[in-house]
Each structure stands twice: as structure tokens, then as C-alpha cells.
Chain A
């Protein structure tokens, strides 16, 4: 029977926050095992070179060094999406991140010193650092393991289309063509990468204490790399100090650590320092987007044609598949009759890109939303009206065959327009505070998967539940906690369903030997998929409990309610404590444990070879309105207010939700204004927090969040995915606001003070 929600929707502090705030949480760098060694990696000195020779003899002689390995010493398969990345490079290096040798020693300092003693002779080569150069006919093959079909250096091409593009062009009253350049941004997880590998040469099993956000895919990949059986590898996720997509791929340091442990028969730990973190962990794709957008005389969008060249870097991670997400935005954000999308991930000798919160969508949305402002301007239309006119709607079937079973796009737009005090007569003149400071408002929307994304043969998640004889529940979920608050959301759902206190619920989610399968943390899927999986398991558990309780209370199952630790008959008012019912099941017939298992697979579809199909059970929508103040003397941008309205389906934990929104928005602000990993001829120029700037506490604006509840029919309690969405529209909304304030042309990120000042000067 339907009842009011008691836990869902109430602000709930994270279950694991106490242990984290107390400094007792064990992150990767805090792991200590008996007899543990420390590993360090020698990376190449030059981005591109032939390795003539490697001499490890001096390193081996250093007291305290236990093992040194090079590519010649190991038997390991290549890693990554295209299996194009050797764990330790042999013969040649292809980017400045490349691993050449590794050391295990009794202390980290000795390992690092030993690495410096390894002598490598290089034959330095010219590299290719511009993807357009790499696409020339006479360009040499950059990655020796992958020879692209269309061109030797195309790691992954994507092509999509729908509608009659030529007809739509003819219908267009305005057409805007813009080239956008999006930078390399990096995750900056506060905890640098860390792994501890523990191989037992007795039982031939490998335990990895690591920070992956996809433990089961990682386990399978690691087994393939090391020629082991997946089941002989146990992945234990330590507390993860930030993910944001960075831990979706395997990186060479992880199998290297395993290999060092196998070589020495001892546990080995590798931790990155911040510089190594900047150089050797992934980035958001740098890309060039040529976007042509059209609209008819009434402001209805007619078509988009996007042609994209992505700088893949030297190897191919999952990140090369970001066009899969980008094309959804180009094809389906706002109603659109026709679309052509062509994207190519192109090998270069730069550091390779990976997956990053938003997964290509921040880039795509930037291009789409900037062009919308340009279309509106050319049409003489209001920039809010044109968005509202084209907004997505409930039950829309898009050209790409995505089905918007619930949709809060229009409402989100209206909310942010209203709350920001925007009015069409708002103009640049109105925003002029003084000669020096100018203000403006900008809008942007976003569309993202909200019910998982079927890109792997299963997008499911398993849950085991056990309730012990004392009425305490253990949720063993396949899903992972990376700081986003998934444990708490799951415990809240169980508390809601079983009427037991949160403190009587534990969530176990870090060990592949224990937890059932889950595809991993990505695509903002955990609340939706793991939540539905848990609800399925809870239903089974309640069946067991209710059968017994109905018997004990001499009532019908439908008359039972679960509240305050009791199972109560609504007809008689009599009740039993839930733990009593468990004991009755356990110690009397049927003599069973109160344990159940459930696996949930979303109803979404694989896309066909034309990339059409309903890839997610539901979709998230959002709009942001942002007001900025531009200092025309310095070019500095002060973001004043950010209004965020997001279709979250249903608010589960308002506290965690607001945290995801605020954190995402500030990350989007960094993307808009500050962040770029600068690279010159393959070298990283700013591998530190001093020169790679992320927002500090004093940079943050007022953030106003308005959840839109569309109660999705498939979501747990109506909820849909949240995590990636908030950062996606922030950069284009900021850019649009700056243009509104000072009328400059913005086609690239980050919008640094220097670029602003230069544009002001050039336009003057």
C-alpha cells in the first residue's frame, strides 16, 4: 500500500561522513600491509623517441632496491579500450606520460632515487601534436598497434545523422557556423592515484587495493593484461578521494604495481605525487568543433551539423567514445528535425584523454548553446524565448530515437529565467554599472542520460541483502561509492521500505569477492540502477518477512506496514519487532536466513549501428541562468549568481543532491574560466596546482538550486541520474553572460582574463 515517504526526500548526512571527517577513512595512500614495498615508475624524458637501451644496473645496486622491471622483463598484454597501450613501453615512446621501467624498494624515497639511476638512451624523434597534422595523407602512423580504417591515425570515427538536412537548410532563415576550441581539462581529484598490489605466490592470487570506479570491468581487464583468471583477482576499493570519471579506465601504473608484486612476492604500493598526477592521469578531450546551426524565421531550430576532431593523444581510453554522448546533445537537445554528426578521435603524441564527468557533453553543450545565442541575435529574437520555443517535452521521441518518458526541460528554463530576474528588455546598457564593470546574464540547457547508458552488454547491478537475527540490515551492492553519496541514498531507500533506522543499516560495496556484479560508476547511473536493484531485493526480503509476520499476526500480507522497527497489522494494530520476525524465520520453520539476492537490468536498448535507440531508461534535463560581472580593466570575470534548475525526477537526499549540484557547477566554472592543462610539443607546462588553477573558496558565486521533480515512471521513487549534469551547462551559460555584458566573441575555453581583454581591445 502507498504511504507517505518518511526518509526519502529528507536531508540526510552521509553515512560515511563521520569516518571521513575524523581522518579514519583509509584511502589508497593510507594502506599499510606487512612487508610492503614501495614502487616508483620511470617515465620517458621525451614525448617521442626510440628507446635505444635501458641500463638498470645502477638502480639494482642501490641498497633497498628489491626489483627493477622493464618491458623486456614482463609478460603482459596491452591495456585500454583499443588495447593499444603497453604497460611498459618497449622500443619507442609515444607521449610524455610513457612508462619505461619500474622499481620496487623498501621505501618510497629509495624507489624514487633508484628510478633516477636507470639510464635510458633515447633517439629523439619529431612528434605530431596537432590532430590536423596527424590527419595529413603523409603523416606517419602514431600508434603502432592501431591502424585506423579511414586514416591510419584515426583511433575511432563516429558518424550519425537523422532527418533531411538539405531540406532543413532550405527552410532556415538564419544559419550560424562557428569553430569552437575546447581545452584539455583534468580532474584534480584531491587524492592522487594510489594502488597496493598483493600477490601471493602460494595461492597464485592477486589482491588489489585500488581506486577504480568500475571494479568488475577492471578485474576482467587486469586478468587479461596479466594472463590470469579474473576470479583469481580480488579488487578491494579503498576509500576513493575523488573520481569524476578519472577512474573509469585502467592506467599502466596499476598492472605495473601488480607485476612488481608478482616479481617480488611482496605487497607493493605505488602512489603518485601531484606532478605525476597531472602528467599521468587523464584529461577531458581537447577538441575542435565546427558547428553549423540553423533556425527558421520563427526561431524553430532546423538542423545542426557538427564536425569534430578530438585530440585522442597517443593511446585510446574509454574517452575516445565520448562522441557517443556528444551526439545525443547535438541530435536531441532541444527539438531538432535534422542532424549530421561526424567525430574523429585522432592519435597525436600528446598525453591521452580519458573519461571525465559529462563525458563529452560539456564540449557539445558549449557549442550548441553558444550557437543558439548567435542564432537568436541574428534573428533579433530573445535568447530565452528561442530556447523555450524549442525545449524538449514529455513523450518526445527524438531523431535519435531517445524517448523522453519524463521531461522537465521547459519548466527548468522557466524557473531559471524567473529566478534570475531576467527580462527580454535586459540589455548590455542595462548591465553597465560603470565605465569599468559590466554585467550580463546568460542561459544554457543540458540533456544527459539519467537512467544508465547501455554501452556494455549489461548495464545492470546486483544486490544481496541480509538481515541478521538482531534486525540489522546489510546491503551488499555491486555499486561503488566515490564520494558522491551512493551508500547513503541506498541506505535511505532501505530505511524507507523496512521502517528501520539508518543506523541499523550497513552498506558493503568495496570487494569484488563479496559484492555482486555492477558495470561501475559512470553515466550518472548509480542512484537509478543500484537503487532499482536494491528496491527489487527489498521487495523479495519483505516477502519473506511479510509471510512470517502475517502468520504471526494472523492477518493478510496487504495489511502489514513497516514502521519504527516494527511490522504492524493495520487491522488489529498488533505488531512484532522486525528482528523477532527474523528470528521466527530462522529458528523455527521454515528455518531460513533472511537473505535475498536480486539483479536489475534497465529496460534501455542498445543502439543500432546507426546509433539510434533508447540508450537510457530516462534522461535528465537542466537549465542554468548565470549573471557575471566583467572587469574591463583586467578582463577578470566575477561570477555573481548561478541559478540551476534540474530535472532530477525525484529528490532522494536533498543534502547530497545540493552537494552534487554545487560541486558540479563550481567544476563547470573552472572549465569556463580557469582550467587548461597546457601542452607544448607534448610536454605538460603546468603540472601543479599553482599554474593549473581550480576554483578556491573565495571564487565561488551564489548558487541557487531549484530541483524539478518529474517523478520518472522507471526511477526509484521517480528519481533519475544527477551527478554529471550540473557542470555541463555552466561554461556556455557563463560565456553567454560575458557576451551579454561586453559583446565580445567567445569560441574557446577557458575564458581567461587575457582573452577577454584582448577581445575587448580588438573589438574596440
Chain B
């Protein structure tokens, strides 16, 4: 009943062309078409943030995003964060680890992406966020294990 649509986009720095059904969700493009399982399906209703990815640097819920709308855009998933040859990972991830902010870890990739986008914005605006601003920045990422305290501390340590 529906025609497929060709899209061109960048995924984790790699230019990609794909033909996909028009109704495909971004999370399915990422997890099923591209096999990138780091983006987590928590609720598929935009309520939990586990599937958060960056589109043009901004955090969005990939479960409520039509895949064809990444045409011409840059998508970054947790797999797209740089790892050095020495195995050093992104400072956001490292901060979460060092502060004990990762328990079951299912919310973590999405949390990382929300924090990435927030930190970039703060750096751009040259502001050091307050704990309340940090909490607000991750309000769309539910975590059932940590009670958020260590996550907020980890983000504070990045400034």
C-alpha cells in the first residue's frame, strides 16, 4: 500500500543511503535496519527517553520520529560516540561510570545522549548549569535504579 522512500543521511559520521518504508520509525531504522542495538526500546511512546539519539546534535526520542525525516540530517547514536585506540570513551560516559551512575544500564545510552546535547548547549552558551538545570535537562529520561542522584553529580562534574 505504501511506496518506499530513499533517504540520504549520516549515521555516526558515515554517509548512508537507504530505501525504507515511509512509516518506519527512527528507532527501527537504527535497531533493525542498521543493527545498532545500543539505542534502547523502553516504552515506544516518548515517555521514558531510553531511545534518545541526536539528530543534528539535538536529543530526540527515536521512537516518535519518522525515519524519513532524517533525510539530509546527521544522526548520532551511542555507538557513534568516539572511542580512542586506548579505549577511552566519551567524557559523558566516563563521568557516569566514575560517579556510579550506571546500574542496570538500560536507560544509560539514552541518558548519555540527552546529556551530550545538554552539555554541548551549555558550552556553547558558556554557562555552568545548576543542579536544577541538570535535572530539567534529563527530565525526559526515566531511570528506575539510581534515583538520579549520581547521574546529576556526574553531569555536574563535567563543568
Contact = CB atoms under 8 A, between A and B. Distances in A.
Interface of A: 11, 13-14, 16-18, 20-27, 29-30, 32, 187-192, 239-244, 273-274, 482-485, 655-656, 658-659, 662-667, 688-690, 694-698, 700, 703
A242 B152 CA distance: 20
Q: Which has the most chain B C-beta neighbours within 10 Å: A30, A187, A239?
A: A30
A190 B48 contact: yes
Contact of B145 (A25, A659, A703): A659
Given A24-B38, A239-B104, A274-B44, 18 more contacts: A17-B96, A22-B93, A23-B78, A189-B104, A189-B144, A190-B42, A190-B104, A240-B104, A243-B104, A274-B47, A659-B145, A659-B146, A662-B147, A662-B148, A662-B149, A662-B150, A688-B43, A698-B139
A593 to B, nearest CB: 30
Given A22-B38, A190-B107, A483-B104, A694 B97 contact: no
Contact of B103 (A29, A483, A690): A483
Interface of B: 35-45, 47-48, 50, 77-79, 81, 83, 89, 93, 96-109, 112, 132, 134-136, 138-139, 141-152
B152 A22 contact: no
A726 to B, nearest CB: 9
Given A242-B145, A274-B43, A689-B45, A697 B152 contact: yes
A23 B146 contact: no
A485 B48 CA distance: 23
8 closest A-B pairs by beta carbon, nearest first, are A23-B38, A20-B105, A483-B104, A241-B106, A666-B147, A23-B78, A655-B100, A689-B47
A241 B93 contact: no
Nearest to B28: A109
A530 B102 CA distance: 22
B147 A703 contact: yes
Contacts of A666: 147-148
Given A689-B47, A698-B136, A664 B104 contact: no
B146 to A, nearest CB: 5
17 contacts: A13-B100, A20-B105, A21-B109, A22-B38, A23-B37, A189-B106, A190-B42, A190-B104, A191-B40, A239-B105, A241-B105, A662-B146, A663-B103, A689-B48, A695-B148, A697-B141, A697-B151
A12 to B, nearest CB: 9
Contacts of A26: 37
Nearest to B111: A21
Contacts of A187: 144
A26 B35 CA distance: 12
Classify the interface of chain B: helix, strand, loop or mixed: loop
B97 A14 contact: yes
A698 B50 CA distance: 17
Contacts of B43: 274, 688-689
Contact of A242 (B83, B99, B106, B148): B106
Contacts of B135: 697-698, 700
A58 B136 CA distance: 49
Contacts of B143: 190, 697
A194 to B, nearest CB: 10
Given A13-B97, A22-B89, A667 B105 contact: no
Nearest to B140: A696
A751 B152 CA distance: 27
A648 to B, nearest CB: 15
Contacts of A242: 104, 106, 144-145
A196 to B, nearest CB: 13
A112 to B, nearest CB: 13
Contacts of A24: 38
Nearest to B141: A697
B74 to A, nearest CB: 18
Given A662-B146, A666-B147, A689-B45, A21 B103 contact: no
Nearest to A26: B37
Contacts of A483: 103-105, 145
Contacts of B39: 23
Nearest to A187: B144
A190 B50 contact: yes
Given A23-B78, A190-B144, A659 B103 contact: yes
Contact of B104 (A18, A191, A697): A191
A482 B104 contact: yes
Contacts of A30: 37
Nearest to A700: B148
Contacts of A663: 103, 144-147
Contacts of A694: 142, 144
